[in-house]
Amino acid sequence: MLKLGVNIDHVATIREARYRGRGKGEPNPVEIALLCEKAGAHGITAHLREDRRHIQDRDVWALRQSVKTRLNMEMANNPEIVDIALKLKPDIICMVPERRAEVTTEGGLDVASNWSAIKETRQKLNDAGIEVSLFISPDPAQVEASARVGSQFIELHTGAFAEAYEIADARTKELQRLIDAANQAHQLGLKVNAGHGLNYQNLTDIYKVPHLVELNIGHSIISRSISVGIKSAVKEMLALMSKYPQ
């Protein structure tokens, strides 16, 4: 079964638009996370950024106490955030790149150029009982480096595929990159997740990517929930994902 991790960052984005710096406010990401679980989500994803633009420290601690499925904490390889993760002990972390000017995470982690530092952090997290995933572009060098680092998972960045979706030739090219990367990762013993820009329209093409364990989807589900409610939005996505070939 292809699993769904719901990214709740944008719930916090809405809250912070009005209540930034106030230590309270609505909507509550934890409440939404629990509703996602009740609707059948297999996990909850939250990105504690260095700039704290959406998810706050109090959110990840409340999520750790409340989430009953699988808590995935996205994070940069930053000493402060690593220390928080080691104390928090999410079920898995996904290491991502961060740039202050970006709207959301753009591009994958450059593991090949930073494998030594990433390996050191991976070891610390694994020693604390936390699985490690690396958010990478579907590039052979990055897949190989991720295996060399010793991570348990990679998460394939599907953003280029999503951006190319309306252009047939470009979509086919980006989809083939994802297929090739998933096959390479599987051969190297890595488990494969995917995410970024996936939605109710482009998801069916992802059926062609083999060896997928989990999709992490946020913006599309939160956007859809404005119209139909969060439980229905999650169930609709799960219904689409149920057609993924096993």
**Residue 106 pLDDT:** 60
For residue 15, the one-letter residue type is: R
**Catalytic residue annotation:** 47, 74, 196
**Residue 104 pLDDT:** 53
Residue 246 lies in a domain: no
**Residue 102 pLDDT:** 47
**Residue 23 pLDDT:** 83
Residue 228 lies in a domain: yes
Q: Which residue has the tokens 């997290």?
A: 125
Residue 148 lies in a domain: yes
Residue 175 lies in a domain: yes
126 burial level (CB within 10 Å; 0-12, 13-18, 19+): middle
Decide: 132 and 159 in contact? Cβ < 8 Å.
no
Residue 194 lies in a domain: yes
Q: Into how many domains does the chain fold?
A: 1
Residue 16 lies in a domain: yes
**Residue 100 pLDDT:** 56
Q: pTM of the prediction?
A: 0.95
d(CA 176, CA 206): 10
pLDDT < 70 positions in the chain = 99-107
Domain of residue 21 covers 3-241
Tell which residue, 82, 32, 86, 90, has the closest CA to residue 64.
90
pLDDT tens sequence across 173-231: 999 999 999 999 999 999 999 999 999 999 999 999 999 999 999 999 999 999 999 99
Residue 160 lies in a domain: yes
Q: What is the CATH number of the domain that holds 121?
A: 3.20.20.70
d(CA 20, CA 41): 28
